[in-house]
Structure 1
């Protein structure tokens, strides 16, 4: 953890992170790509601890996209096993630290073992009121908006409004993202929380995810604090 006492802006409630660069981190060290994912899991734990300690309300981590199924089968299998094991091992620690864990995404796409691990972790932490940790797995922004629209149709809504969609997203009861971070040097959002990031501040880091520690996060937060969020208004209106 950083020894610097950070100054968390009052308007920073929800941080979302695209955790990119695990495979490249491992390959640079002559290791298999899957070892990067293991190292990345350790970094995710640090980020959750940091955000909980600093009073961030919501942390959403992009763990596995709906497009990631296209990756090599051995890597996908490793990720699924790592996810299930981590849920089992980490849920008690999260619960002890008053963290509420929610997995957002199409959970029906996972096998029964993983679905049970998700259900158990969510059930254990459901009444906690500290950090809300959202893990986006088998998630895609297009899928999220589409399933919300379909829910509107099933609910018999004739003319669908923005509010109707918002209430049916998998993040329906959660504040929109204030700061979206992507590690690994790429500068795109890769179908992540498309609706929820409409007015997010974007921050791109060259650090590969396993190297993105709490000090790197503080740099991103400091950058966020310098920005003026106008939400369509002029700078003069914001003051």
Structure 2
């Protein structure tokens, strides 16, 4: 089925929602949902790479997520360290570059060390880019960009120049955003970059997101006529 795909999006962004609900429905602690969610990341990463997507970005942890119970936050951070440390060799083997997007101030030292090692180990990979939004906020990204512009001394700037001050300036805007679990909002994710992105919402909880569900999202994207505000004749 993958061989039949055409019009492949260059950049797919994912809001991975529903880990907690997945665990709750099974009478399990929320951390079990996050662990199963990590497996869904692996599946999605493989499929994206197989079909030729150049950028895959996932919303792993928002600035608002610090308000969750401390035990859950600690479990998520430990799981992130474990995931980075164990999966980096596989990323290198598959020529996938790992990158992080978000504010690094306030992140635990163990996370920062793993992030640095992961980025360093994959920096020469020139296949797909795998972007993990960590301690990320779309509003914060815009504010941080404005602060950089002010510090540069610029008094005037256009949209293209503004892009240069975002967290990853060379990252293309997402062609497709996937959000799982039935929620229909973008939740402060890539507010600048999602201006003309196609939005796909599914009821499937993130831990259950598999190849079939990903292909459904890609087929949805292929059915869309992207006009970017223009009129086609």
Place the TM-score, normalised by the shorter chain, in its bin: over 0.9
Give the whole-Å Cα distance in 1 for the aligned partners of 2:2 and 2:161.
41
- Alignment RMSD (CA, Å): 1.0
Establish whether residue 183 from structure 1 lines up as the match of residue 149 from structure 2.
no
* Correspondent of 1:50 among 47, 51, 55: 47
Q: What is the deviation of 1:111?
A: 1.4
Contact kept, 8 Å, 1:183 with 1:209, in 2: the verdict is: yes
Contact kept, 8 Å, 1:99 with 1:131, in 2: the verdict is: yes
1:24 maps to which residue?
21
Runs of 4+ displaced beyond 2 Å = 4-11
Contact kept, 8 Å, 2:14 with 2:58, in 1: the verdict is: yes
2:109 maps to which residue?
112
2:127 maps to which residue?
130
Contact kept, 8 Å, 1:152 with 1:164, in 2: the verdict is: no
1:197 maps to which residue?
194
Contact kept, 8 Å, 1:20 with 1:184, in 2: the verdict is: yes
Tell me the SS of whatever aligns to 1:191. coil
Question: How many correspondences in the alignment?
Answer: 233
Contact kept, 8 Å, 2:13 with 2:57, in 1: the verdict is: yes
Contact kept, 8 Å, 1:6 with 1:218, in 2: the verdict is: no
Q: What is the deviation of 1:9?
A: 3.6
TM-score for both structures, normalised by structure 1: 0.95
Unmatched tracts of structure 1, length 5 or more: none
Q: What is the deviation of 1:11?
A: 5.5
Q: What is the deviation of 1:227?
A: 0.7
Residue pairs, 1:1-239, within 5 angstroms: 4-10=1-7, 12-236=9-233
TM-score for both structures, normalised by structure 2: 0.97
**Deviation sequence 1:187-232 (CA, Å, 0-9, x none):** 0000001111100000000000011111101001101101100011
